[in-house]
Structure 1
Amino acid sequence: MIFCPLYSGSSGNSIFVASQKTKILVDVGMPGKSIESALKHINQNPNDIDGIFITHEHSDHIKGAGIISRRYDIPIYANEYTWEAMETKIGNVKENNIKIINNNSVDIMDMHIANYKISHDAAAPIGYALYSGNKKACIATDLGYFSSEVKTIIKDADVILLESNHDVEMVKFGPYPYPLKKRILSDVGHLSNDACGQAIVEIMNDKQKHIILGHLSKTNNFPELAYQTVANILKENCIEIGKDISLDLARRNMPSDVIDF
């Protein structure tokens, strides 16, 4: 499989995932031209995308979904409540490209795309676990907290995009109004750097994992701070980066490194 966060952060999110026969995008939260540019950067053609899978209806996850669907005739997959919440925001989509997810999974050729519930302040937010052969990748961002369901789903994945959204003290003393601070720090908000580090400790087992820290806040975090906070927690728990685990950061404004696994 191939896994690449094209954009990741509070400004916009989109992830490219491919198996031998299938290519999909999870979320399209950037303008169409930005998505096209990112795909070109990693030598991928948007005409080859087989589906767009939406986690939830917030603008940083759906901004370019309608444009890309119309331009390249790509189906958009989302659960019923997410469709209802986003359909007026993405423009007209061809009827045959509206795919309502009614079950826990969808199969597209050789890729199995399972979904699972996450805690976030959206209509019916979900994360995705993507399988092909004996490989598995998971996308776990926009988590209010690290639930037992999320833990169970992602613990055996080869590659995980895991939220490391904010530093708690930066939120508390930052410029956001109090209601927004309260929302970010709540169980339907976002996962902090410390919570991310602890989550990684909880899913450690004998399986070698490649974890990418993603969805970093532009206002309440720094890439170096997110990485170092998580690294310190791993070190405190005798987990060695480069030996027990691979740890990377997803870039905000350009594609991250392509992971081929």
Structure 2
Amino acid sequence: MKFISIASGSSGNCQFLEYNNTRILVDAGLSGRKIEENLKSVGIDPETIDAIFVTHEHTDHAKSVGVLSRRHNIKVFTNLETLQAMEVTVKKLKAENVYIFENNRPFKFKDLYINPIDTFHDCAKGCGFAIEGDKKVSLITDTGWVNTESLQKMEGSKLYYIEANHDVEMLINGRYTWPTKKRIMSTKGHLSNENSAEVLEKLLKKEGEQIVLAHLSTENNMPELAKKTCTDFLRGKNILEDIDYKLDVAPRYVPGKSYDL
């Protein structure tokens, strides 16, 4: 099973997964041209993408869902609430390319088992995904918290792609308005670096799992700070980087590492 973060952050999100003869994207939040360029830069032909799985309707996740689907005849998987909310962005999709799932009801697509996980965000009905081929990968961003049910569905993954959106101190002392700060810190906002570390403590089995910290704020975080906060917290729980797990931070504009699980 292969995983690559194609782009990550408030400027646009897109992830690539491959297993056997199945190639999918999770989200398409950059311009169609930029996603195509990023895919080609890591040797992936956009014409070979089978489906786009959409987490929620915000433009940094759904901007080019329609463009890519129409251009390359790609299937689109989404829950009904997200489909309706992103219609203004995505525009018209071919009926035969639209597939509706329900959160928390697993299903199979080609070689993959997909489990849409509830997220808690200021959107219509957000989700993350636990995706299984021969290995399991869990992706969860744009959520103010992670509940017990979602943790159970993510458990046992070999790779965790998880939001570490902001440093709380940077956010509080930053230039955003107070209502915006409250929204980000709320249970319908985003996970902080500390929140992300707390979630990972509950998930990690000390089996060399790969962590990719994602969706970092440009205003209220830094890659080095996100990594340090997470590794320091886990070290305090006797969970050690490079011994018990490995950790990277997803780049914002360009593809990250290719993980062959």
1:213-257: per-residue Cα shift (whole Å, max 9, x none)?
000001110111101111111111111111100111100010000
Secondary structure of the 2:17 match is strand
Which residue of structure 1 aligns with residue 122 of structure 2?
A: 121
Between 1:140-149 and 1:178-187, the stretch displaced more is 140-149
Which residue of structure 1 aligns with residue 39 of structure 2?
A: 39
RMSD: 1.1
Which residue of structure 1 aligns with residue 81 of structure 2?
A: 81
Q: Does 2:200 correspond to 1:231?
A: no
Secondary structure of the 1:18 match is strand
- 1:1-261 correspondence to structure 2 within 5 Å: 1-102=1-102, 104-133=105-134, 135-261=135-261
Q: Which runs of 5+ in 2 are unaligned?
A: none
Q: Which runs of 5+ in 1 are unaligned?
A: none
Secondary structure of the 2:36 match is helix
**Shift in Å at residue 206 of structure 1?**
4.7
What letter corresponds to residue 85 of structure 1 in structure 2? A
Secondary structure of the 1:248 match is strand
Secondary structure of the 2:131 match is strand
Secondary structure of the 1:199 match is helix
Matches of 2:177 and 2:170 in 1, distance apart?
A: 13
Secondary structure of the 2:230 match is helix
* Residues matched between the structures, number: 260
Q: Structure 1 segments of 4 or more deviating over 3 A?
A: none
Secondary structure of the 1:88 match is helix
What letter corresponds to residue 125 of structure 2 in structure 1? A
Matches of 1:48 and 1:108 in 2, distance apart?
A: 15
The sequence identity of aligned pairs, in percent, is: 38
Matches of 2:154 and 2:138 in 1, distance apart?
A: 6
1:62-110: per-residue Cα shift (whole Å, max 9, x none)?
0111111111010111001111101121121111112111471332221
**Shift in Å at residue 150 of structure 1?**
2.2
Secondary structure of the 1:89 match is helix
Matches of 2:94 and 2:202 in 1, distance apart?
A: 43
8 A contact 2:206–2:239 mirrored in 1: no
8 A contact 2:206–2:245 mirrored in 1: no
Matches of 1:156 and 1:102 in 2, distance apart?
A: 22
8 A contact 1:156–1:207 mirrored in 2: no
**Shift in Å at residue 207 of structure 1?**
3.4
Matches of 1:10 and 1:189 in 2, distance apart?
A: 13
8 A contact 1:115–1:127 mirrored in 2: yes
What letter corresponds to residue 160 of structure 2 in structure 1? I
1:130-175: per-residue Cα shift (whole Å, max 9, x none)?
1113x10010111201211222122210111011000001111111
Secondary structure of the 2:210 match is strand
